[in-house]
Amino acid sequence: MALGFNKWFKIAAALKPAAAEVVRDEAFFVADAIKEQIAANGQISAGEEGYPGGFMHDSVYASTTEKSTYGEGVGPPKDSYRLPEVKPENDQQGTFGVAANYGIFQNYGTRYLPARPFFEPGMERGSAQFDVYMATMEARIKARI
């Protein structure tokens, strides 16, 4: 008697690429959520002469083994720079971050500047979205078998 219903090996083979897809989608979602929070906080500068503004906003990036948005957008003004990109080691990891060297001071504040958090609120939105992505795992796996 043949057992044609056992698809375990196909399911196992589809699990890793489906998980990598969730990781990719989540990393880019969180980066976008952080950008949206920066805009909602009014932390996009109007710019200076010769500088259009928005460096911190545009320095938010997501990185996977397939794609990275690091370095896209507006370049740094004279007194700022991009921190190095943090790259994932494999397709089961994704990173996101703020490359503007002053982003931490904008997020957490200083003794002269009140905190205007954007990183944690973006991650909180990402946490809720992760549950949505995980709910699609079955469909993602089925699409591969």
Q: Residue 123 falls within a domain, yes or no?
A: yes
Q: What confidence score (pLDDT) does residue 47 get?
A: 59
Q: Residue 33 falls within a domain, yes or no?
A: yes
Q: What confidence score (pLDDT) does residue 1 get?
A: 45
Q: Residue 102 falls within a domain, yes or no?
A: yes
Q: What confidence score (pLDDT) does residue 53 get?
A: 63
Q: Residue 35 falls within a domain, yes or no?
A: yes
Q: Residue 76 falls within a domain, yes or no?
A: yes
Q: Residue 109 falls within a domain, yes or no?
A: yes
The count of domains in the chain is: 1
Q: Residue 6 falls within a domain, yes or no?
A: no
Q: Do 65 and 24 touch, CB atoms closer than 8 A?
A: no
Q: What confidence score (pLDDT) does residue 7 get?
A: 82
Q: What confidence score (pLDDT) does residue 106 get?
A: 94
Which residue segment(s) compose the domain that 58 sits in? 17-41+51-142
C-alpha 123/C-alpha 35 separation (Å) is: 11
Q: Residue 137 falls within a domain, yes or no?
A: yes
As a 3-state breakdown, the chain gives helix, strand, coil percent values, each rounded to 5, of 45, 10, 45
Chunked mean pLDDT (size 10), the chain, 145 residues: 72 94 97 95 70 82 96 88 96 96 96 96 95 94 91
